[in-house]
């Protein structure tokens, strides 16, 4: 599995009925680009006035506005991780919004392990992400354990 793989999340996004499969496809394509380290493709998934907010994990808390700043923040966010394993527990879609309940664990490049649970809330405009909020309840694990 790639160091940034999202196999469980990809399966959940591909499964089940969806009000607008284009939104699921956009998020799935974004995750695949990140997994494959194709960071130059990231601007294709966001609107020009996109916003990114990450809450609850101090190592990654951010608020970025504008596609260029959002793409830079996403690249930095995943660039700090040596490994990430995310499991999707549930995907809910309503109109132009899509929410994913996730459980994840990983390893930062500085050697700290983390684990947590959270919600990724995406709002779309014309099948591009207009706003992405990630609410996390994450903690660092005892490395000696």
Tens digits of residue pLDDT in 107-144: 999 999 989 899 999 999 999 999 999 999 977 775 44
Whether residue 145 lies inside any domain: the answer is no
pLDDT at 145: 45
Instruction: Please report, for the domain that includes residue 14, its CATH number.
Output: 3.10.450.50
Whether residue 70 lies inside any domain: the answer is yes
Using alpha carbons, select from 118, 122, 127, 128 the residue that is nearest to residue 42: 128
Whether residue 90 lies inside any domain: the answer is yes
Encoded tokens for 20: 């607008």
pLDDT at 97: 94
Whether residue 71 lies inside any domain: the answer is yes
Cα atoms found within 13 Å of the Cα of residue 87, Cβ hemisphere only: 7
pTM above 0.75, yes or no: yes
Spatial contact of 8 and 111, defined as CB atoms under 8 Å apart: no
pLDDT at 1: 33
Using alpha carbons, select from 51, 92, 87, 55 the residue that is nearest to residue 70: 51
Q: Indicate if the pLDDT at residue 50 is higher than 90.
A: yes
Q: Indicate if the pLDDT at residue 45 is higher than 70.
A: yes
pLDDT at 2: 41
Whether residue 85 lies inside any domain: the answer is yes
Using alpha carbons, select from 4, 60, 43 the residue that is nearest to residue 128: 43
Summarised one tens digit per residue, pLDDT across range 21-43 is 688 889 888 888 888 889 899 99
Number of structural domains found in the chain? 1
Encode burial over 46-62: b for 16+ CB neighbours within 10 A, e otherwise. bbeebbbbbbebeebeb
Whether residue 37 lies inside any domain: the answer is yes
Whether residue 20 lies inside any domain: the answer is yes
Spatial contact of 102 and 127, defined as CB atoms under 8 Å apart: no
Angle at 28 between CA 117 and CA 46, to 5 degrees: 95
Whether residue 2 lies inside any domain: the answer is no
Domain extent, residue 91, equals 7-140
Spatial contact of 8 and 103, defined as CB atoms under 8 Å apart: no
Order of strands across the sheet that contains 62-65: 62-65, 46-55, 128-140, 113-125, 97-108, 81-94
pLDDT at 12: 61
């Amino acid at each position: 599995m790639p160091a940034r793989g999202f196999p469980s999340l990809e399966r959940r996004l591909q499964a089940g009925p969806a009000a607008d499969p284009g939104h699921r496809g956009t998020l799935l394509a974004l995750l695949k680009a990140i997994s494959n380290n194709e960071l130059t493709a990231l601007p294709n998934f966001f609107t020009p006035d996109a916003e990114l907010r990450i809450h609850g994990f101090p190592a990654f808390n951010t608020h970025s506005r504008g596609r260029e700043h959002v793409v830079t923040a996403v690249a930095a966010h995943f660039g700090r991780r040596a490994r990430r394993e995310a499991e999707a527990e549930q995907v809910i879609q309503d109109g132009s919004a899509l929410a994913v309940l996730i459980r994840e664990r990983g390893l930062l490049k500085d050697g700290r392990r983390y684990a947590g649970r959270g919600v990724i809330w995406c709002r779309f405009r014309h099948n591009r992400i207009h706003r992405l909020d990630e609410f996390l309840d994450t903690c660092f694990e005892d490395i000696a354990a």
